[in-house]
Amino acid sequence: MSNAAALTEAGFASAVANGVTLVDFWAEWCGPCRMMSPVLDELAADYAGKASVGKVNVDQEPGLAEQFGVSSIPTLLVIKNGAEVKRYIGVTPKAELVKALDASLA
């Protein structure tokens, strides 16, 4: 079971409206997405109470993927108070994500 919250179109806006959220656009069949999954679980635990980690399954939520212009997965967005502040495409080292989260929280 993932520590990251599953995000859907219905609750997405309210989930990212306040604070810092790392959003992973992924799919079940995507190998690199599966490689990122444990990293995202660790970040969700590490940042509990400080930042949120959410996952958007692009097969189930194509509207959100389209809204954010996601054409390759995994795509990871750092969203602060509803606005995208950083974007990563592909497998991204945990240290890079930690740096982005810390900068957004500062």
- The residues annotated as belonging to the active site are 30, 33
CB atoms within 10 A of CB 70: 20
Distance CA 49, CA 66 (A): 29
Contacts of 87 (CB under 8 A, 6+ apart): 75, 76, 77, 78
- The interaxial angle of helices 94-105 and 31-46, nearest 10 deg, is 40
